[in-house]
Amino acid sequence: MRQMTNPTMDLMAHSAKTTLTKTALLQEGIQQLAAHGYHGTGIKKILDVVHVPKGSFYNYFASKEAYVAEIIREYNQQSMLLFDQLVADSTLTAVEKLEILYQHMLARYADAQYQKGCLVGNLAAEIGHRYALCQTALQASINNWQTRLTSLIMLAQQEGSIRTDLAPDAIAEILWHTWEGILLRMQVDGDAVVAKRVLSTLFKQLLVPAEK
């Protein structure tokens, strides 16, 4: 007897498989881009790892540029989730949360022997504004980071632990750009000696309120 098919169930199963495949492509793309950059990342290698036929790539993404832009958004979403988790402890002061955030990120890069930088920073340095879709995704990622940093800095200013003669968003920009520079130095040195010294100077001397 011929078994009846359920079109709705078939559609749901196909949709779930498509979502899983797209997620796998994005995750592998993050790894490949972090290791090889935009121009050094080959789509074929990613497809081989994820076991997706070459001709099927365009079922998920319109182009390599669209793919990388989606990877940037996925990477940013993961980063923002991590940020929110790390600063969720309400018993800590805002400055303590900021310091824990950067300590955690230092530890992550130590696990990678300091050879992997921030995907957003690396791509920004490599491709700049040459690809419009990627540029938009990069700008959104940086803005998301700075918005969250600004909120924490504002709280720290209210608590009296960070200087108030600079606007919160200006301090957030300093933190963001300092961190990106630190990442480059760690890759050059292969350690976090300078990075820790710079962060210590930033938090213990430059950002503290002036003594009355």
Q: How many CB atoms lie within 10 A of CB 94?
A: 19
User: 191: number of CA atoms within 13 Å, CB side?
Assistant: 3
The reported pLDDT for the residue numbered 14 is 42
Q: Is the dihedral of CA 147, 170, 182, 200 positive or negative?
A: negative
The reported pLDDT for the residue numbered 16 is 47
Q: How many CB atoms lie within 10 A of CB 3?
A: 4
The single-letter code of the amino acid at 20 is L
Q: Are 113 and 102 in contact (CB under 8 A)?
A: no
Q: How many CB atoms lie within 10 A of CB 143?
A: 12
pLDDT along the chain (212 residues), means of 10: 53 55 94 92 94 90 96 95 90 92 88 78 92 96 96 96 96 94 88 92 89 61
Token representation of residue 199: 């962060």
The reported pLDDT for the residue numbered 109 is 83
The reported pLDDT for the residue numbered 22 is 93
Angle between helices 43-50 and 7-40 (to 10 degrees): 140
* φ and ψ at residue 143, rounded to 5 degrees: -65, -40
The reported pLDDT for the residue numbered 27 is 95
Q: Are 134 and 127 in contact (CB under 8 A)?
A: yes
Token representation of residue 76: 């940013």
Q: Is the dihedral of CA 175, 152, 109, 51 positive or negative?
A: negative
Quote the CA–CA distance of 2 and 145 in Å, as a whole number: 56
The reported pLDDT for the residue numbered 212 is 53
Taking Cα atoms as reference points, which of 207, 195, 204 lies closest to residue 103? 195
Contacts of residue 138, Cβ cutoff 8 Å, sequence gap at least 6 = 72, 120, 123, 124
pTM for the full predicted model: 0.85
Q: Are 109 and 192 in contact (CB under 8 A)?
A: yes
Domains of the chain, first to last = 64-206 (1.10.357.10)
The reported pLDDT for the residue numbered 12 is 43
